[in-house]
Copies of this chain bind each other. A is one copy, B any other.
Amino acid sequence: MVQNKSAIFLKYPTEYPVAGEHLEIQNKELTVDLKDNDVLLRNLYFSLDPYMRGRMRNAKSYVPGFQIGEAMTGYGVAEVKESKNAAFPVGTIVSGFTGWQQYSVIPGASGLRVIPGARESPIPLSAHLGVLGMPIIGQPKAGETIFVSAAAGAVGQLVGQMAKKLGLRVVGSAGSDDKVDYLINELKFDAAFNYKKNGTILENLKRAAPEGIDIYYENVGGETLEAALEMMKDHGRIIACGMISQYNTQQPYGIRNLFHIVSKRITFRGFIVSDFAEECGADFAKDVGSWLVKKEIIYREDIAEGIDASPEAFIGMLKGKNFGKQVVKIADL
């Protein structure tokens, strides 16, 4: 039996969730009665991601919804604390679906992945929540222009830097001047704009990419998607990783210019990162890890401290208050 603080899902929100109303920290006792192949994890970090808002619904989705009264689920990094599984001895550092909680029992160690050399590596443990698992798709070619929305976020900052490495012209949008400065001065984007200022999003995008865009890396939806459709070139590709502007409203924005998909022969493809888990396994993680250590790519995290901080950190992320990938640190290694 261990004391296990966790973030419990209380109620389906219709717009932005509210801490205390829709999710709440509770201190519960966890019964530890391991069967063959089970492990008990002491959790260290977990990831807060926009897709989680989509699981706070009472509707069919690509993953089962969160269960009312249960801990929120999510991807984390943890240390094996007790084990009845020879592949995961005590002390092993792993990543997997550990949830918003201090401890987790994982039956059969299902879905856990060992992080080799984690204790000695210069790569921070939290990086295993994001930077090492992010593919770039969309057949980018040197000389093309890519537009990335939410470009200072978890996904956007990596996509933009990888696109630079591949020789593309990179344009980003973000929701504050600080983030725009970061994109231009630290990540070396070719252009970036604050979508809340200086006219409509379309006007901003026209100034930043007057030549039009070949690839749009879609994280936000709504008016930004509509502007991107206007500026797409023929045979453009839209890679849809998320549509965060549409998750917390009962009045979703209606996209009125989808006819460009026909006239410009656009391919608009949705994906979920876990679909690419196979493709971006060990080799990909090694490459990106080495770039990270050599500071060839920059990866900014926004770390909330302690499980108690997780509801507000999550809600802040949905509102764009995070600067970089939002993670929660639960415990030191």
A interface list, Cβ under 8 A from B = 54, 61-62, 221, 225, 234, 240-243, 246-247, 252-272, 275
Complex contact A258–B62 (CB within 8 A): no
Known: A62-B264, A261-B268. 15 other contacts (CB 8 A): A61-B263, A62-B234, A221-B259, A243-B262, A246-B259, A252-B256, A253-B254, A254-B256, A261-B270, A262-B270, A262-B271, A262-B272, A267-B267, A267-B269, A267-B270
**Residue ID in chain B nearest A63 by CB atoms:** B263
With a cutoff of 8 Å between Cβ atoms, the chain B residues found around residue A271 in the complex are 262, 265
| Residues in chain B near residue A257, CB distance under 8 A | 252
Given the complex of chains A and B, what is the CA–CA distance between A247 and B252 in angstroms?
A: 23
Contact across chains for B262 and A242 when beta carbons are under 8 A apart: yes
The answer for the CA separation of A62 and B266 in the assembled complex, in Å, is 12
Indicate if the CB atoms of B275 and A270 lie closer than 8 Å.
no
Known interface pairs A62-B234, A269-B268; A54-B254 also in contact (CB < 8 Å): no
Across-interface contacts of A240 in B (CB, < 8 A)? 258, 261-262
Q: Are A253 and B253 in contact (CB under 8 A)?
A: no
Asked whether A258 and B259 contact (CB < 8 A) given A270-B265, A271-B265, the answer is: no
**A259 contact set on B, CB distance < 8 A:** 54, 221, 243, 246-247, 252
Query: Which residues from chain B contact A253 at a C-beta distance below 8 Å?
Result: 254, 256
Q: Are A258 and B221 in contact (CB under 8 A)?
A: yes
A58 to B199, CA, bound (A): 25
Question: Contacting A263 at CB < 8 Å: which of B62, B255, B260?
Answer: B62
**Complex: how many Å from CA A255 to CA B267?**
17
CB of B263 within 8 A of CB of A54, answer: yes
Q: Which residues of B contact A225 (CB under 8 A)?
A: 258
- Expressed in whole angstroms, the Cα–Cα distance for A272 and B275 within the complex equals 30
With A and B bound together, what is the CA distance between A270 and B275 in angstroms? 23
C-alpha spacing A240/B254, complex, angstroms: 18
Which residues of chain B have C-beta atoms less than 8 A from A260's C-beta? 270
- Verify A275–B268 contact, CB threshold 8 A: no
Q: Are A268 and B265 in contact (CB under 8 A)?
A: no
The 4 closest A-B pairs by CB, nearest first: A254-B254, A261-B270, A268-B268, A252-B256
A242→B270 CA distance, assembly (Å): 21
Taking CB atoms, residues of chain B closer than 8 Å to A269 are 261, 265-268
